[in-house]
Amino acid sequence: MTHNAEQLQPRSEHWAVLGAGILGMTLALRLTQKGQKVTLLEARPNPGGLADAWKIGDVTWDRHYHVTLMSDMHARELLRELTLEDSMKWVETKTGFFTDDTLHSMSNTLEFLKFPPLRMIDKLRLGGTIFYAARVRNWKRLEQIPVGDWLTKLSGPRTFQKMWLPLLRSKLGECWRETSAAFIWATIARMYAARRTGLKKELFGYVSGGYARVMEEFRAKLLEAGVELRCNAPAQQVRQTSDGRLTVQLADEAAVFDRVVSTLPTPVMSRVCPQLTPMEKQLFDGIRYHGIVCASVLLSKSLSPFYVTNITDTGYPFTAVIEMSSLVDKAELGGSALVYLPRYVTPHDELFDRSDAEIEHEFLTGLQRMHPTLSLADVKAFRISRVRHVFALPTIGYSDRLPPTVTSVPGFYALNSAHIVNGTLNVNETIKLANDFVAGLNNLPFRCLSSCDSHPASELKPVQLVTQS
């Protein structure tokens, strides 16, 4: 489906979009394509959010590792609109497992069958689990089942302890105990989506120039469409004025809008809008987030042929090794190898307060333990990204406790990645959220129609947005 101004019906109003990540930028673009006037307010000096780029040493590449899948149709359509789809490169990647102090390749069925840490029966059950999960359609049912129970039942206790538990811990820490089976289902479903569309294997794609180029083109597209983009403009408060409009308080001025849509993480959003009802605040604050400390390491040599190395051994300070240069042409990286060392943590983890030097020392010591031939002289640059709110934990019964998109404050909407209920956090799902929101603009209520202040939070249902495929 293409998006253009002709599809437009609603009367033109002045919107503020809070947050210029992929979600805020796509909302801004789609709203202007529907004839709305849009001001996009971003706290940081540049747009892009989690998908922005930065400089590490003499290389500019993504602050967090990003790939596009062939099946990411919404993302690819946006890239087409930005005239970037032709600059995409598609690569078949390899996956490694670091288990029992050894790096194993797990990139095809034969390697999987040879994988020493598991017995043949374990492998059959593990393969069966993935095969079954990729075919499950009723994700709602899985939301009621703890992920540990589901995987143990399907794969057996040994495989759960040896394979699944380290993988769950690497993404969720100890919060895996409260996470539903829908989490692992969504992860498997995403990896298998390309096969459902007829492709035999999954390829990973990137735009030549990385997200720096995507953001440059996206920014230019927004400006061309008439969006007013204001960076270094953190929204401090949103309030309804006496004439029914909305004031957004910035550091040294207040701006007035007809409607405001926030893409901020729900706990931040709840603080920004004091006029939300106690019930709404309870829902927004009830979403539990996970954050990340993610190091980018520029090296003079490659570590392995694997894009992802999953770590099932304990005692490593990071939870995986992502070798971007096994996917991206090294010419894009000035001939260097680029490796990411992520560690997913809760928003209040002590790691956020540690100094860069401490983290660098700990992470590089861990990396040298894994790759004993790596010398510190091979490290050209090291840079750390810290983000406290990255994704909402898919806890048991998550979609029933989802905060409303349409709030009780007239004209104030809350939309963010916490509203991805049956998928994983990724750019494609994020763009779909924005597309669906704006596609439903004609029928968008001005305020929450159920009485958000009298119902128990558990009875408040999110407003269903129009879904386009």
Ligand X SMILES: Cc1cc2nc3c(=O)[nH]c(=O)nc-3n(C[C@H](O)[C@H](O)[C@H](O)COP(=O)(O)OP(=O)(O)OC[C@H]3O[C@@H](n4cnc5c(N)ncnc54)[C@H](O)[C@@H]3O)c2cc1C
- Alpha-carbon distance 456 to 451, whole Å? 10
* 305 three-state secondary structure: coil
Q: Does 49 bind ligand X (CB under 6 A)?
A: yes
- Alpha-carbon distance 227 to 243, whole Å? 25
Q: Between 65 and 112, whose beta carbon lies closer to ligand X? A: 65
* Residues 277-336 close enough to bind ligand X by CB under 6 A: 292, 294
Q: Does 61 bind ligand X (CB under 6 A)?
A: no
CA count, 13 A, side-chain hemisphere, 96:
22
Using the rule CB under 6 A, which residue among 16, 17, 24, 188 binds ligand X? 24
Using the rule CB under 6 A, which residue among 16, 31, 38, 51 binds ligand X? 51
Q: Between 21 and 166, whose beta carbon lies closer to ligand X? A: 21
Q: Token pair for residue 124? A: 């059959």
Using the rule CB under 6 A, which residue among 8, 43, 91, 124 binds ligand X? 43
- Find where tokens 């269903």 sit: 464
Task: Determine whether 43 is exposed, middle or buried from the number of CB atoms within 10 Å of its CB (0-12, 13-18, 19+).
Answer: middle
Shortest Cβ distance from residue 381 to ligand X (Å)? 18
Q: Between 19 and 403, whose beta carbon lies closer to ligand X? A: 19
Is residue 404 within 8 Å of 460, Cβ to Cβ? Answer: yes
Binding mask 358-397 for ligand X (x = CB under 6 A): --------------------------------x-------
Using the rule CB under 6 A, which residue among 16, 40, 41, 370 binds ligand X? 41
Q: Between 67 and 193, whose beta carbon lies closer to ligand X? A: 67
Shortest Cβ distance from residue 385 to ligand X (Å)? 8
Q: Does 64 bind ligand X (CB under 6 A)?
A: yes
Q: At what angle do helices 120-133 and 147-155 cross, to 10 degrees?
A: 130
DSSP state of 326: G
Instruction: Give the interface size with ligand X as a residue count (CB under 6 A).
Output: 34
Shortest Cβ distance from residue 454 to ligand X (Å)? 29
Is residue 337 within 8 Å of 381, Cβ to Cβ? Answer: no
Shortest Cβ distance from residue 291 to ligand X (Å)? 9
Q: Does 65 bind ligand X (CB under 6 A)?
A: yes
CA distances from 71 to 180, 326, 416 (A): 25, 21, 22
Q: Between 118 and 214, whose beta carbon lies closer to ligand X? A: 214
Is residue 338 within 8 Å of 324, Cβ to Cβ? Answer: yes
Shortest Cβ distance from residue 316 to ligand X (Å)? 17
Q: Does 42 bind ligand X (CB under 6 A)?
A: yes
Q: Does 166 bind ligand X (CB under 6 A)?
A: no
* Torsion 360-380-293-171 (CA) sign: negative
Q: How many helices (H) and strands (E) does the chain have?
A: 14, 20
Using the rule CB under 6 A, which residue among 155, 263, 346, 408 binds ligand X? 263
Using the rule CB under 6 A, which residue among 15, 16, 17, 23 binds ligand X? 23
Q: Between 124 and 203, whose beta carbon lies closer to ligand X? A: 203
Taking contact as CB under 6 A, which single stretch among the options 62-70, 124-132, 217-225, 370-378 is the one that binds ligand X?
62-70
- Alpha-carbon distance 146 to 382, whole Å? 38
Nearby residues of 358 by Cβ (< 8 Å), 6 or more positions away = none
Shortest Cβ distance from residue 148 to ligand X (Å)? 24
Q: Does 103 bind ligand X (CB under 6 A)?
A: no
3-state SS, 381-441, equals EEEEEEEEEEEECCECCHHHHCCCCECCCCCEEECCHHHCCCCCCCHHHHHHHHHHHHHCH
* Of 403, 398, 469, nearest in space to 436 by CA: 469
- Find where tokens 């069925």 sit: 109
* Residues 417-436 close enough to bind ligand X by CB under 6 A: 417, 425-428, 430
Length of the chain: 469
In the complex, the residues that contact ligand X under the rule CB under 6 A are: 18-24, 41-44, 49-51, 64-67, 234-235, 263-264, 268, 292, 294, 342, 390, 416-417, 425-428, 430
